A and B are shown apart, each in its own frame.
Chain A
Amino acid sequence: MNTSAAQLRERSRALAPGVGLSLARGVAPLVACLVLAVALQIAVRPLMGDYAAKLVLDIGVAVILAVSLTIVNGFTGQFSMGHAGFLAVGGYASGAVTYYGSLKVWGSAATHGGLLSGRPMSVDPSTLPLIGSGDLLFVGALLVGGLTAAALGLIVGLPSLRLRGDYLAIVTLGFGEIVRVCIQQTGPVIRTAAEAAQVPAWKLATSVGGALGFTGIPKYTSLFWVWLIAGITIMVAYRLKRSTYGRAFLSIREDEIASEAMGVNTTRYKVWAFVISAFFAGIAGGLFAHTLGVGLSAEAAGFLKSFDIIIMVVLGGLGSVSGAALAAMVVTLLPEWLRGKHVGPVDLSQYRLVIYALALILMMIFRPKGLLGVAELWDRSLWTSLAARLKRLAGGKGGSR
């Protein structure tokens, strides 16, 4: 019975590409992400101003959130409604690491970043190194945030083994609320290094501001970090989807019984999906927490935030990585675009949620798979089917005239 496994292994050795080529194809996307991230960091603010820079940064964080949720909701078809819970956990964990880490190391929560990270306007860029010592702390903190969220993802993933559909949605919704309430119960932020030195480490982790919010986190997040990580998230999600593991995820969504009968350990893959998804959501939370102008509070874990992310995934197409990224952009820009738009006396920006709901209803009627379905923007089949549809539409009109 193991002969076919052995055959497959032998054959795969024969078919394996050369090391050089493979290395190039493995590294090339990373280099591309790096270049894009540096380009955005250098170009956007000087060319388009602070407002646009903030929007591009928000889009990047939204892309990470939407693409990470796609791994659970899109690939495995498990409907999670507590994604903001992971965002908040990651944000608070990484925020605590940089804030109290800075107090311990430098005695204050000021930033010690380099050219590529966020910095106060008052700092003269010519005096900065490319990567500062604070950046290392920041990256470490993001990883801590991601891993904390991933650990929680494991815990939330476990009920998903037994629950389906609506029931899972309710449990994950509950998870988000539990996170929110727990954060509200935390103690006030400790403000001076001297005080922090007297408090044990575990106590510091729970001194994150409670209902008042966690203020004073050094603001390291920059376009560079956000888009570097967004690029990596997209790459990881897409490569997973295209691999044999991605097919295992998708098969669970399509038919769990058949998937199991074909030898897919559906339990293991569902939990993996939750863990990977939570990891990236936690990192997005870390980026969010360190963004200039953001006041991190328990509301970050709330249902409304989770709902925003779900909208992106559903509009973009369940299972489409590029669709989720595209929808993240639209959903982030929409309220900005609506700001100040009036229909008679009605301020449209206040009706953001109504517009989302309408968009969802229209989507359910006309295109239940979402904008792209399971396809990607660069899939040729998507465009050929679109062209065929347009042609039919045009032909139909011509016939009726």
Chain B
Amino acid sequence: MSGSDVILDVRGVSKSFGGLKAVQDFSLSLSQGGLKGLIGPNGAGKTTVFNLLTGVYRPDAGTVRLGGANLVGLRPCAIAEAGMARTFQNIRLFGQLSVLDNVRLACHLRSSGTMTGAVLGSVFARGQERAMTERARELLRLFDLADREDEEARNLPYGDQRRLEIARALATGPAVLLLDEPAAGMNPQEKVELRQLIRRVRQEFKVTILLIEHDMGLVMDVCERIAVLDYGQVIAEGTPAEVQSNPRVVEAYLGEAPAEAGHA
């Protein structure tokens, strides 16, 4: 599993909340530029995995290595700086800030300069501001949000808010992007566009993507490999075809193994 092209290597991560073992001995590796799906029934612990990877929760055991460095115990902002960005299942935009400012805020991480410089309006600080604005506008253009940059983020339609979250995550300059149910609440047309968008993001930004999604059509179509989580444990891993025909996966989704192998 540990080839030189592995960018994210998660081993033996566990987390309990009181008596509830939310995630047990979770291992996963992502190869550079890969696109992996993480699926599982409701309550399987998918979002908890994201929270463990990004430092919102601290794992009880295990290691999370990104490009070789162990991230366990770092604060979320340090993990973002190390190159991991995420979106949220329940959208967490900066509602009262403009669309442009949401993305510009995420550019802050890679900016340099001092507060004094910003207050005095130094040449360097002004240059940084313009570069951040330019970069944010580029991202908004790619995500079809350019004409809404002055609107407050909370006033955007649902689908636009989801896209803005992805744009904002990309603005932090990540190596690995974690998408938590990006298609939730989208209509079929928007879902089709989302597929194309995910592919484009992967090519243009050269990011490695880990995707949580309930829409099986989208997951099977877009992901190269899929890991299936149930009761906090990985029960299967493989290509979409392999996962679909795995009896344990079918059992996790449907309760019991039916006669025909097939659609989960």
Residues of A within 8 A of B (CB): 1, 3-5, 8-9, 11-19, 22, 25-26, 235-236, 239-240, 243-245, 247-248, 250-251, 254-255, 257-267, 272, 373-374, 381
Render B218-260 as a binary contact track against A, CB cut-off 8 A, 1 for contact: 0000000000000000000000000000000000000000000
Contacts A240-B118, A257-B76 aside, 17 further interface pairs with beta carbons under 8 A come to: A8-B131, A16-B124, A22-B126, A240-B115, A240-B119, A243-B125, A244-B108, A245-B115, A250-B97, A254-B96, A255-B95, A260-B77, A261-B92, A262-B169, A263-B81, A264-B77, A265-B77
Within 8 Å of chain A (Cβ to Cβ): is B162? Answer: no
Contact of B97 among A13, A19, A254, A264 (CB under 8 A): A254
- Given A4-B110, A8-B107, A262-B105, A244–B97 Cβ distance below 8 Å? no
In the bound complex, do residue A272 and residue B115 qualify as a contact, i.e. CB atoms below 8 Å apart?
A: yes
Q: CB-nearest residue of chain B relative to A239?
A: B119
Within 8 Å of chain A (Cβ to Cβ): is B161? Answer: no
B-chain residues with CB within 8 Å of residue A255 when the two chains form the complex: 92-95
Contact of B128 among A4, A8, A250 (CB under 8 A): A8
Within 8 Å of chain A (Cβ to Cβ): is B172? Answer: yes
Q: Nearest chain B CB to A357's CB is how many angstroms away?
A: 26
B-chain residues with CB within 8 Å of residue A26 when the two chains form the complex: 120-122
Contact of B132 among A1, A8, A251, A257 (CB under 8 A): A8
Within 8 Å of chain A (Cβ to Cβ): is B62? Answer: no
Residues of B within 8 A of A (CB): 54, 56, 67, 75-77, 80-83, 85-86, 88, 92-97, 101, 104-113, 115, 118-132, 134-135, 150, 168-169, 171-173, 175
In the bound complex, do residue B131 and residue A15 qualify as a contact, i.e. CB atoms below 8 Å apart?
A: yes
In the bound complex, do residue A236 and residue B119 qualify as a contact, i.e. CB atoms below 8 Å apart?
A: yes
- Given A251-B97, A254-B97, A22–B118 Cβ distance below 8 Å? no
- Complex Cα–Cα for A245 and B101 (A): 12
Contact of A22 among B54, B85, B121, B128 (CB under 8 A): B121
In the bound complex, do residue A263 and residue B106 qualify as a contact, i.e. CB atoms below 8 Å apart?
A: yes
In the bound complex, do residue A244 and residue B77 qualify as a contact, i.e. CB atoms below 8 Å apart?
A: no
B-chain residues with CB within 8 Å of residue A267 when the two chains form the complex: 75
In the bound complex, do residue B118 and residue A244 qualify as a contact, i.e. CB atoms below 8 Å apart?
A: yes
Q: CB-nearest residue of chain B relative to A25?
A: B121
Q: Nearest chain B CB to A293's CB is how many angstroms away?
A: 33
What are 14 A-B pairs with beta-carbon distances under 8 A? A4-B110, A8-B107, A8-B132, A12-B131, A15-B130, A16-B127, A17-B127, A244-B113, A247-B104, A254-B95, A255-B93, A261-B80, A265-B77, A373-B96
B-chain residues with CB within 8 Å of residue A244 when the two chains form the complex: 104-105, 107-108, 111, 113, 118, 128-129, 132
Contact of B131 among A11, A240, A257, A272 (CB under 8 A): A11
In the bound complex, do residue A247 and residue B97 qualify as a contact, i.e. CB atoms below 8 Å apart?
A: yes
Q: Nearest chain B CB to A320's CB is how many angstroms away?
A: 12
Contact of B94 among A235, A243, A250 (CB under 8 A): A250
- Complex Cα–Cα for A250 and B173 (A): 21
- Complex Cα–Cα for A245 and B105 (A): 9
- Given A16-B127, A258-B92, A272-B115, A263–B172 Cβ distance below 8 Å? yes
In the bound complex, do residue B123 and residue A381 qualify as a contact, i.e. CB atoms below 8 Å apart?
A: no
A-chain residues with CB within 8 Å of residue B120 when the two chains form the complex: 26
A-chain residues with CB within 8 Å of residue B132 when the two chains form the complex: 8, 12, 244
In the bound complex, do residue A15 and residue B127 qualify as a contact, i.e. CB atoms below 8 Å apart?
A: yes
